[in-house]
Structure 1
Amino acid sequence: MIARVYIAGLFFLLSGCAKDPHTVKNLPVAKAQEVVKIHPNNTAFTIDSTYLESSAKNIREFYKDKKYKALWTDEKDRKTLLLSIASAEQDGLQPNDYNYDTLTAFEKNKDLNKEKSAAYDVLLTQSFYKLALHLFKGKISAASLYPDWALEQKKLDIGPLLNEALKNHTVDKIIDRCRPPHKTYEGLRKCLAYLNSMPDDGTLQTVTIKESIKENDSLDQVVLVRKRLAYWRDLEQSDTISPVYDTKAIEAVKKFQERHGILPDGAVGKKTAEALNTTRQQRIEQVVVNLERWRWFAYDFGEKAILINIPDYRLAFIENNDTIATHKVVVGRPDRPTPVLDSKINYLVVNPTWTVPPTILEKDLTPKATDDVSYFTNNNLRIFDKDSNEILPEDWKPEMAKNYRYVQGSGNSNALGNIKFNYNNRFSVYLHDTNHREMFGRSYRALSSGCVRVHKPLELAEKILTKENSDWNMDKINEMIAAGDTEKIYLKKTNNVHQLYWTAWMDKNGLQFRNDIYNLDKLLYDKLRN
């Protein structure tokens, strides 16, 4: 399996391709202009090692292991690789990042001398390596773009894959195996193909909303709404004429709203109008960046895992790649975003206490306590100095605020609610219950200070604990909560946590888009196209 084939630090630079190798300006002059004629009789030959001096170390070592024999003498292998490179467009990648035009020009040349044949062979190998690596782990590094993304680094030993591809003449199958195996990734590829097949939307007029459009309103803007709904196939083309906002239009808007994560109330307000006005090209770019993100995500989420999509405010509990249950979540607001990470739950805490983190201390606690020192008593907060001596609220000094530790006692008013799910990470975030459960009724739920609040968390705890030990059930959890004691429940079995971020996908209800709540999409798209 490809997920088990690893090697550390596999990076290669196509420095030998900085100039068009078809001109052979970056290769030493051959002693004899021997015509190898790769086409049409595919003659095998040996490559002078000096031709590889500008190649990356892993490329040089691969050829050395093969005693510098040409690798791509089979026409089928070459043309299959060219087709695979061309099809990279379906993954939101650009074929010429993998030397498509140069390789095509080589393939069309029926008589190549030895130095050009060597250049062609090496470039094919470099292009295979680069494409396979980009499909497996992404074109760019997540951490280089987003400082608060801490995903496990995916590693791949491409040499054995190339060996297999050439030995069995299965270049396309090996390349395909490098793609993420997840259904969401394949759905995104279908999204991209679908969007590229749609007609131009440049003639559609912008929907301008001053007041929400509601049932039976008769407005010129209704016609524009209908046309955009028809373009996205949420409404029949034959229903685009009437200026009356009738039942058909309302039902189409509800369908559109559901596909965009908007409260499906049928009214066309500013958020719905903004989604309607989003162009096909903008949606294409959105899909392209999400394809790249899914190449960053873990190749295998694990036997049991919690998968969180931050922009969708949704958590899925999965087992053997099947979704067992979903929960609404509240995530960090844009100025305090929930980080993207991979981790493992190590324990649960029933009736947790809460230690105030630095961000909340600085931005919330200190200003409020400075205004009114009763803030501590009203919120069941105790103050401790660095030696764990308790400080009375009346002795608290704002200028010393950062020198104290603040702990909120367990109970119904505790910020973490009745249960906490802990996992190691450098951001000190975790999943937890909340004492503000009314937030789950909102459609916009980027409202926390970075941690993830879970709707119906005891149901999630029960699923995790019953997998741990069949003796666990909801009654036992409720008994522990009623007892009021703070208790940790350590887990022996692995429960992975993946806090992820994607804003587009395809499911049984069609194309799905979500607001880019942290404004990350454009930054990534620009980087991908540089």
Structure 2
Amino acid sequence: MSELKLHRRSILLLGAAWAAGLASQAHAQTTETTSSISTPAPKPKLNSTLATHTGIVADKGEAAMLTLGSEEALTGAIAHYQEIVAGGGWPTLPNKKVGKTTKGPQIVLLRQRLVAEGYLPFDALTVATPEVFDDEMSQAITAFQINHGVAQTGTVGDKTLAELNVPAEARLAALQENLIRVQIYSKGIMERMILVNIPSMQLETSHLDRVYSRHNVVVGKLDRPSPALMSKVSDVNFNPYWKIPASIVEKDIVPKYLADSSYLAQMHIRVFDGVDGPEIDPSTIDWSSTPPERYFFRQDPGDFNSLGLVKINFPNEFMVYMHDTPHRELFGGNARLESSGCVRIDQVKTVVDWVLDGQNGFDSATYDANIASHENSVVKVDAPIGVRFMYLTAWATEDGAVNFRPDVYGLDGTGFVLGQPEPKTN
């Protein structure tokens, strides 16, 4: 979806009058919380409106979330918010929802709030009926919602109100915190990139700094967080086997097998005496006293496979990858912290088609034929395509959008840029 530009106007004139209304502390940002083990799982509670959507947006010419111009864009945003803070920030809004028929003093205050950050032009304060919530205000709220990862309603509900009431000082601090991240992530950026932002739970494919497609993704749970990394695509694995990590064997597989002896067979998981060893009967092993790394667990290819029907590999020290999933219902929620660290991609076929487009005659029909074969196959990727798993809670794009997302892993203020975050227990 597009991220809308802010109006850069003289917003400081109202600052002094608003300073007294600023909240003393930053609003605690939270998510509506929407492995790689794929077991029959309860469906998440779905939101009536998704905040972000998956699709091809190449015709819109949108700037990617990370480009060669990202550092300059973010530096400009920091200067802009420094001016806002120096002018007294913006007003705190009353705890009241705003619909399209709402009128009164709270609408006037909302106008002031939107002008302060640049979502409305300054002359929006001098309209004939400033107490009326008009179409221009609704469009401004929609732009604000897009830039904050909130479902676009064009009205002010609880989540939008909470984001509007985050103090300007907190927004400035977030932009400053993310500058070093943008500087490092943008090093070695390639013409073609796959960009994953963990806090926004989104992926972009980009070519020459413009977005080709944008996808909802599932990222790591709080206690199994996704790492931040820099790499490049190496290959695409169709109908993949899942070589199950020892940590997941210990935490998920063995406990489920001990609770239900048919579990491994139901999930098409085989146990081997080493990676190249013979298959063994799991019922002959005393799992209560056997370390998880002693045996090799592997799930056969198929619709049931935890990796789904395709996997995208790239060299990294964390043993993570991007992949399909049999649990596509997870993409229907707004908070998607549900994996064991890998990234699951909504409509992954679009990404794979883009990655392999034109390579040895590869096209969409080739993808379909590879999947339909039910045979495991690996296609090496010839074109250089960069990969970034980023932790950006604030960023600015070349086309003028300033974006904020919740600090889902609690890493702001720690100096975190790259690596494996520490698990959180709550």
For residues 417-466 of structure 1, what are the alpha-carbon distances to aligned partners after superposition, in whole Å with 9 as ceiling and x for unaligned?
A: 11111112111001111112222233323322111112222222222223
- What secondary structure does 1:312 align onto? coil
Taking the aligned partners of 1:522 and 1:221, their CA distance within structure 2 comes to 34
Q: CA deviation at 1:241?
A: 6.2
2:256 equivalent in structure 1: 368
Change (3 A) 1:320 1:220: closer
Query: Is 2:357 the counterpart of 1:472?
Result: no
Per the alignment, in what secondary structure is the counterpart of residue 523 of structure 1?
coil
Q: 2:89–2:116: 8 Å Cα contact kept in structure 1?
A: no
> CA–CA distance in 1 between the matches of 2:383 and 2:157?
47
Deviation at 1:229, TM superposition (A): 3.2
TM-score, normalized by length of structure 1?
A: 0.58
Residue 173 of structure 2 corresponds to 285
Q: Please give the secondary structure, in 1, of the residue aligned with 2:317.
A: coil
CA distance in 2, matches of 1:509, 1:258: 13
Matched, 1:419 2:310: yes
Kindly indicate whether the alpha-carbon contact (under 8 Å) linking 2:107 and 2:130 is maintained by their aligned counterparts in 1: no
Deviation by residue 1:480-504 (Cα, 9 ceiling, x = unmatched) = 1111001111234433222222222
> TM-score, normalization: structure 2?
0.71
1:331 Cα offset (Å): 1.7
Distance 1:396 1:270, change over 3 A: farther
Distance across 1 between alignment mates of 2:139 and 2:75: 28
Q: Is the 8 Å Cα contact of residues 408 and 414 (structure 1) preserved in structure 2? A: yes
What amino acid is aligned across from residue 72 of structure 2 in structure 1? Answer: E
**Contact 1:382–1:407, Cα closer than 8 Å, also in 2:** yes
Instruction: Write the mapping of 1:233-312 to structure 2, written as runs, cut at 5 A.
Output: 233-235=118-120, 236-238=124-126, 242=131, 250-266=138-154, 268-312=156-200
Contact 1:347 1:488 survives alignment (8 Å) = yes
Superposed CA RMSD in Å reads 3.1
Separation in 1, partners of 2:137, 2:381:
51
Partner residue in 2 for 1:194: 80
Does the 8 Å CA contact 2:193/2:206 hold for their aligned counterparts?
yes
Aligned pairs for 1:440-479 within 5 A: 440-469=331-360, 471-479=361-369
Displacement after TM superposition at 1:393 (Å) = 4.7
Q: Please name the residue that 1:331 is paired with.
A: 219
Identity %: 32
Change (3 A) 1:237 1:392: farther
Tell me, in whole angstroms, the C-alpha distance in 2 between the residues paired with 1:376 and 1:459.
32
Distance 2:108 2:221 in 1: 36
3-state SS in 1 of match to 2:331: helix
Structure 2 match to 1:481: 371
Q: Equivalents in 2 of 1:238, 1:405: separation in Å?
A: 70
- 1:342-357 map, 5 Å: 342-357=230-245
Structure 1: distance between partners of 2:333 and 2:167: 27
| C-alpha deviation, 1:359, in angstroms | 3.5
CA distance in 2, matches of 1:383, 1:359: 15
The match for 2:270 among 374, 382, 394 is 382
Asked if the contact 1:310/1:502 (under 8 Å) is kept, the reply is yes
User: CA 1:474–1:438 in 2, change beyond 3 Å: closer, same or farther?
Assistant: same
Whether contact under 8 Å (2:68, 2:189) holds in the other structure is: no
Structure 1 residue 220 displacement after superposition: 8.0
What residue identity is the alignment partner of 1:511? V
Partner of 1:10: none
Q: Which residue of 2 aligns with 1:497?
A: 387
How far apart are residue 301 of structure 1 and its match? 1.2
- With over 3 angstroms needed to count, the CA separation of the structure-2 counterparts of 1:307 and 1:202, relative to structure 1, is closer
CA offset at residue 228 of structure 1?
Answer: 3.0
Identify which of 311, 318, 330 aligns with 2:206.
318
- Identify the match of residue 512 of structure 1 among 378, 382, 403: 403
Q: Which residue of 2 aligns with 1:392?
A: 281
Q: Report if aligned partners of 1:374, 1:393 keep a CA contact under 8 Å in 2.
A: no
Q: Conserved in 2, the CA contact under 8 Å of 1:208 and 1:221?
A: no
Contact kept in structure 2, 1:207 and 1:225, CA below 8 Å:
no
Q: Which structure dedicates a bigger proportion of its chain to helix? A: 1
Asked if the contact 2:204/2:213 (under 8 Å) is kept, the reply is: yes
Unaligned runs of 5+ in 1: 1-179, 526-530
Partner of 2:297: 406
| Alignment match of 1:432 (pick from 311, 320, 323) | 323
- Count of residue correspondences: 342
Post-superposition shift, 1:339?
1.0
**SS at 2:413 equivalent:** helix
| Contact 1:259 1:509 (C-alpha < 8 Å) held by counterparts | no
Bigger Rg over Cα: 1
**Aligned amino acid, residue 309 of structure 1:** N
Cα deviations by residue, 1:350-377 (Å, 9 ceiling, x for unpaired):
1011122233333332333332233222
Residues of 2 paired with 1:181 and 1:250: CA distance? 30
Higher RCO structure (Cα 8 Å, ≥6 apart): 2
User: Letter of the aligned partner of 2:170 in structure 1?
Assistant: Q
Aligned counterpart for 1:231 among listed residues 104, 110, 116: 116
